[in-house]
A = this chain, B = another copy of it.
């Protein structure tokens, strides 16, 4: 079993890095704080006598060999980048939980047939660089390396350059070795486990989703003397589309969610009609056809609003991930591990994207969720009861051990 005290101590120490006044952490991808978090992780991997390697995407691996030198690897982990002013649990629970799982096996003198490998993926969050899950995306062949290196943040800094700057552009090729399966422990980030009063969720799959960038271009002019009939207001059209996104999600009987999350207005002056607005739309469902239909409808609404208002527009779907159920055997392994750990669980699907979704394309995969208090994540008040975090790590430990033993 997990050494609760060591786990807690590491968790707290880790979250001092980039800690915010309001109790969260600010360690966006490839920031100095993200580097510091990586350094700490590598140090702890070494202390645990894991073989450390960094790949070209800055994904960090820590490996413990198995008895069978020819056996394929059981990979498990999560990510240590955070949202801007994000929470302490998102990603961290899965990486430090993985470290504790290996240490618990080592402490108990338990060897496995298969090698065990922990991974901390680069840029899972996708807030500084889009798209998200970039490290696992390249690893699984969804994106190529050069595409990833070219991604730019809002200041025009490139992923590749920033990776080099913080010293995490590794030499190892970013590609899977011989994988047996992948597990990921993560906070749910939704309300269901808490509502069901359960400590663990066995995750059967991840919502498909679309990320869209939209730009409306109208004409700046004076807010006073410009008659309403002469206006080409990029922000009014943005409001139209935002309302449309909300309406689409209200369609009876679907699990569709839709969000306009980022909005930038030019020139952003109280008495000037907005000339340009750039905004994002995030649409998700576990039913890929529902996402397809939503993206089509959103495009119609954009075209319609642009036409009515007399605007030019740009539309780009910067990312589309399909929903794809996890592997039945891995799902059962997690369920059995939860039984063994003596906890009640439910099966559920994830509304949040996860590296596991990409891993599922190349190796049998499943995930373990622990509850998020009030369903809150991506903000500083994100919280999970510590005993639930420990329970999640216990389940991970058992799932990994099961799959690593012939």
Total identical chains: 2
Instruction: Report if A271 contacts B (CB, 8 A).
Output: yes
Question: Distance (Å) between the CB of A84 and the closest chain B CB?
Answer: 6
Q: With the chains together, A281 CA to B352 CA distance in Å?
A: 35
Q: With the chains together, A350 CA to B223 CA distance in Å?
A: 12
**Residue numbers in B under 8 Å from A83 (CB-CB):** 267, 269, 272
Question: Contact between B221 and A378 (Cβ–Cβ < 8 Å)?
Answer: yes
Instruction: Report if A261 contacts B (CB, 8 A).
Output: yes
Question: Contact between A222 and B267 (Cβ–Cβ < 8 Å)?
Answer: no
Closest chain B residue, CB of each to CB of A260: B235
Closest chain B residue, CB of each to CB of A84: B267
**Residue numbers in B under 8 Å from A191 (CB-CB):** 225-227, 230
Stretch at the interface among A38-46, A51-59, A102-110, A125-133: A125-133
Instruction: Report if A114 contacts B (CB, 8 A).
Output: no
24 residue pairs from A and B, CB less than 8 Å apart = A84-B269, A85-B267, A126-B270, A127-B270, A189-B225, A190-B227, A207-B224, A221-B378, A223-B261, A224-B353, A225-B377, A226-B351, A228-B257, A230-B375, A235-B242, A235-B260, A239-B246, A243-B243, A259-B271, A259-B272, A261-B265, A261-B270, A263-B265, A264-B268
Binding site for B on A (CB under 8 A): 83-85, 125-127, 130, 132, 188-191, 207, 209, 211, 219-228, 230, 233, 235-236, 238-240, 242-243, 246, 249-250, 257-265, 267-275, 280, 282, 284, 350-353, 375-379
